Structure 1
């Protein structure tokens, strides 16, 4: 994932210190298929994901990331959930933690292709024949596909089987 300019500017002031960022994950569904992109940096297939720009609405960021990464026009259908990811450290020493806003999106038009250089491929995958997905991408995809009802919110003090 290319680092947005606003983060590069912040890093000039804060160095590698922890940075709290808002991210979006967009699960794009077309019938019984899901859109996945193959990342150029590590070769993993994943959902479309990216950082929300300052002042940008998260749903707009999801639609933008889908178009930028895959050339697909999609409509954001529903908020699936909001989740805090564990802190991480990149190879260059930068530390970050993401608040991820997960959306289910509906394909409108376009054929998937690696549109911005962040990915080497973009393709529709049958839901019953998905490739291995890294980290929580598998969980996020299935949460989005199964979503009905209110958005999900994790709470550290509530057992997982009672969260909604």
Structure 2
């Protein structure tokens, strides 16, 4: 199985050899709970998301990735920010790709569906902001979520 290793401000990180536009989606329900997945490639919790494919928009990729990973069809409602920190790299051990972070984080609301795990998500749950502190997740994901919760709707470019 492929493994994902995130490095953030780590001098032992391998050098990046790719840059792939990706999306993460902060889907919030009517109770302000946030849809989260437990990734199968590293066991960490994260917002659903993935790479933008050729021929699709960022919004289309966001809706597709959320549905694939969670079973929830969503509607995009806004922008949290763009995260492209070159000190955050992601090593995919299956093909030795090392990506520099490039993630556009969007907000969304659920339209229909039930939280359903997939090949990429072992668990899918709705979480309150207070639940998130106890979940294991990569530092860069915590930063994205902090901007979602703390920045009053003003998009960040980091």
TM-score (norm 2): 0.78
CA offset digits 1:24-75 (Å, max 9, x no partner): 0111111231111111122222111200001211111111111000000111
* 1:129 partner SS: helix
Q: Which residue of 1 aligns with 2:63?
A: 63
Contact 1:29 1:145 in 2 (8 A): no
The number of aligned residues is 140
Q: Looking at both structures, which has the greater relative contact order when contacts are Cα pairs under 8 Å and sequence separation is at least 6?
A: 2
- RMSD over aligned CA atoms reads 2.3
Q: 2:156 aligns with which of 152, 156, 161?
A: 152
Q: Which residue of 2 aligns with 1:78?
A: 78
Contact 1:78 1:104 in 2 (8 A): yes
CA distance in 1, matches of 2:150, 2:110: 17
TM-score (norm 1): 0.75
Q: Structure 1, unaligned stretches of length 5 or more?
A: 3-16, 155-164
Runs of 4+ with >3 A deviation: 145-150
Q: Structure 2, unaligned stretches of length 5 or more?
A: 3-15
CA distance in 1, matches of 2:81, 2:44: 23
Displacement of 1:149 in angstroms is 4.6
CA distance in 1, matches of 2:58, 2:142: 21
The structure having more radius of gyration, on CA atoms, is 1
Displacement of 1:147 in angstroms is 4.8
